[in-house]
Chains A and B, each alone.
Chain A
Amino acid sequence: MDMTYQIIALTIMLSAMISGFITFRMIGMKLAVHFGALALALIVTLAAIATGTTPIVYAAAALQIIATLTAYTQTWKILQYNFQTSPGYAPHLALVTMLPVLAIASLLV
């Protein structure tokens, strides 16, 4: 299995850990669910790259998609009503939104 997309996803997730931590401090515990999902996706992606085992790659891809979804579910109200502060969330959301595309690409290509 080609691991190129998973390596790119890992790079993005490492960056997202930093932007996510900064965002986490702004929003508080509401983002804990997303932060947990992102940390888990990072660990499983590392395992997938290290072993190259197909089921682990599938699990990593699934967790990457979940991490993206939770980013939106946990910030949805802020994005909906906070016009001034929501740009603070943009870098993190922009990063994690790349993950589903890379996750699907790693399975299909």
Chain B
Amino acid sequence: MRETTKTIVLTGVKAPNAAITIENIIKGAEDRNDIIFMISPGSETGIDAIAKKYGYHMEINADGKNIGARFAPVSKAMKEIDVTGDTCPGPAITVGNHLSSMTAGDRVKVKSGCSDSIEDIAMAVKAAGSKVVETGNEDGKHFLIAEKAIKAAAQAGAPVEKDKLLIVQSNGIGNAERAYATFIFSKVALSMGKTVTIFLLMDGSSIARKGTAAGVKHPAFERLDKMMDDVIKAGAKIYVCELSAQFRGIKSTDLVPGAKLAGAATYLELLSDPSYTIANF
């Protein structure tokens, strides 16, 4: 069950008085629940040091006029989850459920035998507004440490530079024209200086299987596998839906160099990133 969050309004109190008042409130608090201090811009000087001193995690949210400084107590114990063997979307859902039951500042360590799975979880953590504070290897397994944070509200009217292209390919080599379009559009976008990410799902996942694209050749274009290789070398990222690959018996070792398995969290995070223009083939 979530604890009650107190909101204390200190707008108009200038620095360093705001910090002194906050310290006194924190010191005298009977319980260690989340507290939001509403302060005026410029009054936040020194309050991060107070949060650290008293074992709180601090998060600042600005709404233009005022600043909301959220103080969340840092838990002493860090939860640990091992998702080795779980396949998409299992690990992302498991971690998402853990994060939703945690309070801001709490941390969870997630271990997996698969690095792709950890990357997918990292996407899910970021999409939920939380942070990945550490990644690495331990006892032959990959891990990440996620810290719960409160998702900041999107600022309305903020300009977004759409300099990235996400190509979603779900037809595979069964439709040669769509398969070609995937890499032709990628080439054009790369030449325009855009960042290109290709997500292969459903039938599209087979394109990244070694040898499959080699059987596709149109007289007017170079062979599909060569075109895919050019695009990878030019810097495009190719993700293959883990679930679609599993449906077709395709393993990560079957994929062409440069393509990697990714879960549903990665796909959804890419779709919801406003800097991406999305093209479907």
Contact = CB atoms under 8 A, between A and B. Distances in A.
A78 B175 CA distance: 9
Interface of B: 170-177, 202-203, 205-206, 209, 212, 215-219, 247-248, 250
Contacts of A28: 176-177, 216-218
B176 A26 contact: yes
B202 A77 contact: no
A83 B203 CA distance: 6
Contacts of B175: 26, 85, 88
Contacts of B216: 27-28, 30
Nearest to B218: A28
A27 B176 CA distance: 5
Closest 3 CB pairs of A and B: A85-B174, A81-B206, A82-B174
Contacts of A84: 170-172, 174, 202-203
A55 to B, nearest CB: 35
A88 B217 CA distance: 19
Contact of B217 (A26, A29, A81): A29
Most-contacted residue by chain A among B174, B215, B217, B250 (CB, 10 A):
B174
A82 B170 CA distance: 10
A26 B62 CA distance: 54
A29 B203 contact: no
B217 A77 contact: no
B217 A83 contact: no
A77 B205 CA distance: 13
A86 B171 CA distance: 10
Nearest to A88: B174
Contacts of A80: 206, 248
Interface in A1-52: 26-30
Contacts of A26: 174-177
A56 B62 CA distance: 86
B200 to A, nearest CB: 11
Given A77-B206, A77-B212, A82 B172 contact: yes
